[in-house]
Every structure is written in C-alpha cells, then in structure tokens.
Amino acid sequence: MIVKLINYTPKPIETAFTAARTCYSSEGPASIWSRAKGDSEPAITRDRMHSLLDRVIASGHMSVLEHINFTFSIEGCSRACSHQLVRHRIASYSQQSQRYVKLKERNFVIPPTIRGNDEARAIFEKFLDSAKLAYEKLVELGIPKEDARFVLPNATMTNLVMTMNFRELYTVCQVRLCTRAQWEIRELFVKVKAEIKKIPELSGLADYLQPKCIILGYCPEEKSCGLMPSKSEVIGEGK
C-alpha cells in the first residue's frame, strides 16, 4: 500500500488559530488571519499559535481543527480494508470502481500471516490465479464487469482519494493506531501520519495523532499491549 499526502489546507496552523481566536475576540477573522500570516502588524508568532492550539486540544475544543483538511492518494489497499475505511463517515472518498475498471495484473494484497507461511502462501496464490482466471473467462463470455467482479476476492487491490479533516483524523487515529487495530488499516493510518510528519509546516500537527491510550493516559482495552497501563491499574476499580 502506498499512501501519499497529495494536497492539504495551506497554512493550517494559521487557519486553526484564526478559527480559535475568532471565538474569543472582538477582532474579525480576516484581520486575525492577516496577522497570523505575518501580512499585517502586530504579527502573531508561531509559538503563540502553537500554544493556543495546545490549549484548545487539551480542553477538547476540537471543532477548530475541522478547518484543516488533508487529501491522500491511497494505492494498493485491499477491498477488505477499503470497506472498513469508508465506515468512517465524516470524510470524503472517491474509490476506483470494480463496476467500470477491469482487473489488471498483480492486483492483490497478501496478508503477512500468509506471506510468512509457505503452505498458506501456496494455497493463497493458487487461489488468486483461479480468481483471475474465472474473472477473465466471465468477461470473455460477455458477463458485464459489474457482475464478473463478484468473483474478485477481498485481497483485490483498490485505489482511493480520501479527504479527511484534522479533527476526524485525530479521532480515527486514536482507534486505528492502537496496536489492537486490524493490521492493514493500522498500516494505512501509520502511513497517513508519516506523510503529515514529513512536511515541516505539518510536523507539529502529526504529533497530536496518537492511539487513544497516549491521549487518555491509560489503555481502555480489556488487555493492554503494554504501551500504557490499563485503566483499572490507573483509576482503580469501578466503571
């Protein structure tokens, strides 16, 4: 799977700062925005902007993060994974259609547990060959692609464009960066975070993206993976 951040809200820190500041100030947003960008005086320092964002996130005033959007190219994720992904409803997806696009070569995801087991891998690859063959034959027989695709397995690769705002990304990462998340969707959001981290002006935002245990201060799952102590150890008994 290849994940690339292809587009994002320019000047994201300035944008979120302008939104947050508008709530608590008599100054209009256009003027705050101008000072945040350093286009008018007194300019607002990056330190001050980051410090407001820190407080905003700590206090749970998350809606100001919605003004920052990220658009990702996601290539080669399995249809199993894309079916999970699009269940996150506060985001926009444009996905390669199996109704219109014909299957090409080498278009399958092999799970690590299967890749690492010779016998399983042989079964899997033989099966993939039979799936491709069945698909080709059905298309040759004149079955429409939208029906021939019924033989395509969950392993089939798909491509998506996904736009998600930073508030939702913050929420989704709490669940999907958890070591207990299903491996492929976890890999997807690990890569999403890495893409954001790579860009200097976004790097500070990437640091907010954490599994829920880091944000809560404890692991709320029945068994902790060990990264953080479990809730009962920290809070004690009771709910």
Residues catalogued as catalytic: 176
Instruction: Kindly state whether residue 159 participates in binding its own copies, applying the rule CB under 8 A.
Output: yes
Query: How many whole angstroms separate alpha carbon 84 and alpha carbon 62?
Result: 24
Q: Are 199 and 211 in contact (CB under 8 A)?
A: no
Among 13, 53, 77, 160, binds its own copies (CB under 8 A): 160
Q: How far is the CB of 4 from its own copies (least distance, A)?
A: 5
How far is it, in rounded angstroms, from Cα 216 to Cα 227? 12
Binding mask 77-116 for its own copies (x = CB under 8 A): -xxx-xx--xx-xx-xxxxxxxxxxx-x----xxxxxx--
| Residue corresponding to tokens 């089939």 | 156
Q: Tell the smallest beta-carbon distance from residue 174 to its own copies (Å).
A: 9
Q: Which of residues 186-225 bind its own copies (CB under 8 A)?
A: 212, 214-218, 220-222
Please report whether residue 28 would count as binding its own copies according to CB under 8 A. yes
Least distance (Å) between residue 173 CB and its own copies: 14
- Looking at the Cβ atoms of 171 and 197, the one nearer to its own copies is 171
Q: Which two tokens stand for residue 33?
A: 């925005």
Residue 62 is given by DSSP the state: G
User: How far apart, in whole angstroms, are the C-alpha atoms of residue 10 and residue 15?
Assistant: 8
What minimum distance in Å lies between the beta carbon of 69 and its own copies? 5
Calpha distance 215→69 (Å, rounded): 22
SS3 state of residue 191: helix
Binding residues among 30-69 for its own copies as defined by CB under 8 A: 30, 33, 58-60, 63-64, 66-67, 69
Kindly state whether residue 145 participates in binding its own copies, applying the rule CB under 8 A: no
- The CA distance from 94 to 221, in Å, is 33
Q: Is 179 in the site for its own copies (CB under 8 A)?
A: no
Task: Report the Cα–Cα distance between both ends of the chain, in Å, rounded.
Answer: 39
Q: Which amino acid is at 156?
A: T
Is residue 161 within the footprint of its own copies (CB under 8 A)?
yes
Task: Tell me the number of residues near its own copies by CB under 8 A.
Answer: 106
